[in-house]
Amino acid sequence: MRHPKKIAVAVVGALCAGSAAYADQAATNLTWGDSPFSVVSNLLSHSSSQAQPDANWKKKGDLADMRAAALVAQLTLDEKIQLVHGTGMPTVGLGGPFPSWVQGAGYIPGVSRLGIPALATADSAGGVNVQNAHATALPAPVALAASWNVQLAGIYGARIARELRVLGYAEGLGGGINLAREPRDGRTFEYMGEDPVLAGTMSAARTMGTQSQNVIATVKHYAFNDQETNRMTSNSVVDERTMRETELLAFEIAVREGRPGNVMCSYNLINGVYACQNPELLTTILKNEWGFKGKVQSDWTANHSTVASAMAGLDEEQPGDLGAAGASYGITSYFGSALKSAVQSGSVPVSRLNDMVFRRLRTMIALGVMDNPPTPGGSVDQTAGNRDALTVAHESMVLLKNASPDGSNQPVLPLAAGSLHSVVVIGGHADVGVISGGGSGGVPAADGNAVSGCQSGNPLLSTCATWYKSSPFNAIKAKAPQATVTFLDGTNAAAAASAAANADVAIVFATQWESEGSDLASLSLPDSKADPSNQSYDQNALINAVAARAKRTIVVLENGSPVTMPWLDSVHGVLEAWYPGVQGGQGIADILFGDVNPSGKLPITFPRQEADLPQPTIDANNLNVVYSEGLLMGYRWYDAKNIDPLFPFGYGLSYTSFSYSGLRTRTDHGGNVIATFTVTNTGSRAGAEVAQVYATLPPGLGEPPKRLVGWAKVGLNPGQSQQVNVVIPARRLATWNVTTHSWQVHGGSYEIWAESSSRDTNALSERVSVGDMH
């Protein structure tokens, strides 16, 4: 619901408005008291959809409750059982029956006599993961987080939802927000970085964008599924306070603010109990404390019991009943005939089964799926999808280095096409496309894989990367039509170095492929030993060889996790492009040549070396994953241990410059803190700045040095200033009290910081007195 009057910002999103200019518009305002409906409402004005979210949740929820209860009362026992488990895995042809068009992750038949439609689900981390669907491959979720743009997160969710619906799917399985406690995690690209406030806020906005299109959104993997090594058997050992102040805080924000219809529980155990049969997580915290009214769905094969999981709060089992085919793969259904027997014997009360079904039906009613189910057979609007993909690519790329070559007083970027006579583009298959992550978080290439030849023996989790046919090389050539632009594949480092020596500028593309099911061996750019399926040469050696001879060297990174950079001091420019999606090649060229001013900031710390990580190595022989760093997750670890990262959390350069001034703080009647300061564009180009606000809590509380509590992304023309008001809800200043099992704000003096990154040496700070709150 849009607030009736202009109020201070908690989070502001600024959208690009053509070329390098940004919209000169008043900031969009959002308080934590509002849901992201205001954001979604605004974002829909930028999209092709005419659908508007219904903000009257109380009235709508009451009606959904009544309708769902009435339907539950009419269902037979067999029909209820049918509605709480899947019928197989359509994507690999196991189980059934399901319609031939269903090629997604799961399917649950409806009950036609009562007008309950069937429900098909599809993976959708960065787009719809269905073969031959021609769905839009957006930049990866970690890239979306790097935009720090709440409006853009809503557009992202709405884009995926429109494509899910047109293909017949009513539920998307995107929305991963596990924190990047372990940056080598093979699914880092699917998530939203290392900070709970950033991840939770962006997830909430994405959820509202998705559900505004009558599609059920998922938040996953609940919880502490932070590495792929032993992911189905590992036990995350986490103390209560660490749980609440790190990853569970991200889920709390995502659930309370985004109101997802579906929460997926994870594979791992947490303190000795499987996540999908953990009553504290599923019922005490999620449903009772946070007020979650949707359904809890198991990750695929993550359920291990009937009575324990049902009584803990699991509402839906996936993939469910695969019959004899499932048994051959060791996949057992606990919510089919076994659940029916448990209900008949009284081991699972009928009331609990009714609640499982009620939550499902209520969600379908409240989100418009019951009365307006999607129909298959439609076509994806690729033009609109490509437009959104390019917008996300533009806002998510992070300029990490921009130095001046010897003999020049100008930074290497942006490139001036008119002054270029020769450009050499090297490596990373940049002549044909851009790379993407794998597993369920991947999106099939709409027009075929740009790189052929890789063979994988795993039908479920391929080791072959997907490359989208968006050639950076072709886009660079188009930007510099008067220059000679050549490509070398990078397999011969000496030849690449020789070509670089004779060119005005050398642009080296480096890639890092990762996927669900395994973790990265290291954060080093992979070579043919680390990733034999997708790499044929030593990428670090190539960059070093080129940098030794080139006049100007720019490195473009396409990756899902941080990478170490032993060559950093030898190159002039580094652009972090992440997995940039189906328009990635164009997006990279637009940034390199300054048609778009980079505005992304890192959602995750880049360490100098793996020895600096809280978990220096991943021990595959130890099933206990101990969160020994406690509250010091992500940048908090580096701050507390005085470790200098390669690039800090929140870092990112621009082609212009910004200054902060006049920080003032005050508290309101609700105990919230308002930080007011001015951001000025002091450079010669229009651009957007992510102004971050951190808080240092009073001493003696055992807290890290700083925590992110809010931000504003502000678009400014040259010389323009804007006053920014960031509302810091009192709860963002709270710590978890393990005695009362509740949040507590301790009275005292809090230091508030306004800065361009978590390590900004020019940060402003101001102290504010906060009263005690329980």
Whether residues 350 and 422 fall in one domain: no
pLDDT at 56: 65
Beta carbons of 466 and 438 less than 8 angstroms apart: yes
Residue 432 lies in a domain: yes
Q: What's at 757, amino acid-wise?
A: S
Sheet holding 505-511, edge to edge: 398-402, 573-576, 553-558, 505-511, 422-426, 484-488
In a domain, 41, yes or no: no
pLDDT at 315: 98
Angle separating helix axes 196-211 and 247-258, nearest 10 degrees: 30
Residue 726's contacts (CB-CB under 8 Å, 6 or more residues apart) are 8, 9, 10, 674, 675, 676, 691, 693, 709, 710, 711, 712, 754
Across residues 62-85, what is the average pLDDT?
Answer: 97
N-term to C-term CA, the chain: 28
One DSSP character per residue, 267-280 reads SSEETTEEGGG-HI
Give helix 150-167 / helix 37-44 axis angle, nearest 10°: 70
Please give the share of the chain, as a percent, with pLDDT higher than 70. Answer: 92
Report the pLDDT value the prediction gives residue 267, as an integer from 0 to 100. Answer: 98
Q: Do 232 and 93 lie in a common domain?
A: yes
Same-domain status, 255 and 202: yes
Torsion of CA 697, 701, 706, 711, to 10 degrees: -50
pLDDT of residue 62: 86
CA distance 708 to 693: 6
Q: Mean of the per-residue pLDDT values for the chain?
A: 92
- Active-site position among 195, 299, 519, 538: 299
Q: What is the predicted pLDDT for the residue at 326?
A: 82
Furthest C-alpha separation in the chain: 83
Residues 73 and 29 in one domain: no
pLDDT digits (tens, 9 = 90+) for 477-494: 999 999 999 999 999 999
| Domain termination site, one of 577, 597, 617 | 597
Across 526-584, where does the E strand assignment appear? 553-558, 573-576
Please compute, for residue 128, the number of CA atoms within 13 A of its CA located in the half-sphere on the CB side. 35
Same domain? For 9 and 64 the reply is no
Last residue of a domain, one of 312, 343, 366: 366
Instruction: Read off φ and ψ for residue 202, nearest 5 degrees.
Output: -65, -35
Q: Total structural domains in the chain?
A: 3
More confident residue, 657 or 5: 657
Residue carrying structure tokens 């402003």: 764
Q: Is residue 80 a contact partner of residue 310, using CB atoms and an 8 Å limit?
A: no
CA gyration radius for the chain?
A: 25
Pairing of strands 88-89, 94-95: antiparallel
If one compares 95 and 5, the residue with the highest pLDDT of the two is 95
> Final residue of a domain: which of 581, 597, 613?
597
pLDDT computed for residue 22 by the predictor: 30
Q: Side chain identity at 606, as an amino acid letter?
A: F
384 belongs to a structural domain:
no
Shared domain for 349 and 403, answered yes or no, is no
Mean pLDDT of 620-632: 97
pLDDT reported for residue 236: 98
Domain presence at residue 447: yes
Q: How wide is the angle at C-alpha 106 spanned by C-alphas 102 and 111, nearest 5°?
A: 85
Q: Is residue 649 classed exposed, middle or buried when 0-12, 13-18 and 19+ CB atoms within 10 A define those classes?
A: buried
Determine the pLDDT at residue 178: 98
CATH number, domain of 193, equals: 3.20.20.300
The model's pTM is 0.93
Cβ atoms of 172 and 127 within 8 Å: the answer is no
> What confidence tens digit (pLDDT) does each residue in 20-58 have?
233 322 222 222 233 333 434 444 333 333 334 445 656
Looking at the structure, tell me whether residues 77 and 199 fall in a common domain. yes
Judgement on whether residues 308 and 243 belong to the same structural domain of the protein:
yes
24 lies in which domain range? Answer: 1-34+659-774
Task: Give the pLDDT confidence score for residue 459 in this predicted structure.
Answer: 60
Cα dist. 122→51, 89, 130, 171, 516 in Å?
A: 22, 10, 7, 7, 16
Closest among 771, 649, 646 to 707, alpha carbons compared: 649
What does 487-525 look like in DSSP terms, one character per residue? Answer: EE-SS-HHHHHHHHHTSSEEEEEEE---BTTS--S-SSP
Q: What is the pLDDT of residue 57?
A: 57
| Spatial contact of 415 and 593, defined as CB atoms under 8 Å apart | yes
Say if residues 368 and 220 touch (Cβ distance below 8 Å): no
Measured CA to CA, the distance from residue 557 to residue 535 in angstroms comes to 14
699's CB contacts (< 8 A; 6+ apart) are none
Neighbours of 527 (CB within 10 A): 16
Is the model's pLDDT at 75 over the cut of 60?
yes
Domain shared by 29 and 75, yes or no: no
Handedness of CA 440, 630, 236, 743 (dihedral sign): negative
Beta-ladder partners of 22: 16
CB-CB contact of 257 with 206 (8 Å): no
Q: Strands 119-122 and 171-172, how do they pair?
A: parallel
* 381 classed as catalytic: no
Residues comprising the chain, all counted: 774
Q: Which two tokens stand for residue 524?
A: 């080093």
| Assigned domain for 112 exists | yes
CB 519 within 8 A of CB 629: no
Per-residue pLDDT, averaged over 211-216, amounts to 98
pLDDT band of 745, cuts 50, 70, 90: very high
| Nearest CA among 248, 188, 180, 255 for reference residue 219 | 255
Label residue 741 left, alpha or beta by phi (over 0 means left) and psi (-120 to 50 means alpha): left
Give the residue with greater pLDDT, 53 vs 236.
236
Closest CA to 547 of 585, 503, 577: 503
Instruction: Identify the residue with better confidence: 39 or 280.
Output: 280
DSSP 376-424: S-----HHHHHHHHHHHHHHH-EEEEEPPPTT-SS-S-S--GGG-SEEE
pLDDT at 55: 53
Q: Find the CATH number of the domain harbouring 749.
A: 2.60.40.10
Same domain, 589 and 731: no
Question: What's the pLDDT at 68?
Answer: 97
Question: What is the helix (H) or strand (E) element at residue 674, kind and residue range?
Answer: strand 673-681
Mean pLDDT of 396-404: 98
Q: What is the rounded average pLDDT of the residues 569-589? A: 98
Asked, for residue 636, whether it belongs to a domain, the answer is no
**Residue 286 three-state SS:** helix
Question: Are 421 and 361 members of one domain?
Answer: no
Give percent of the chain above pLDDT 90.
Answer: 87
633 in a structural domain: no
Answer yes or no: is 109 within a domain: yes
Residues 523 and 470 in one domain: yes
Count other Cβ atoms within 10 Å, centred on residue 591: 28
Q: What is the pLDDT of residues 146-173, one digit of tens each?
A: 999 999 999 999 999 999 999 999 999 9
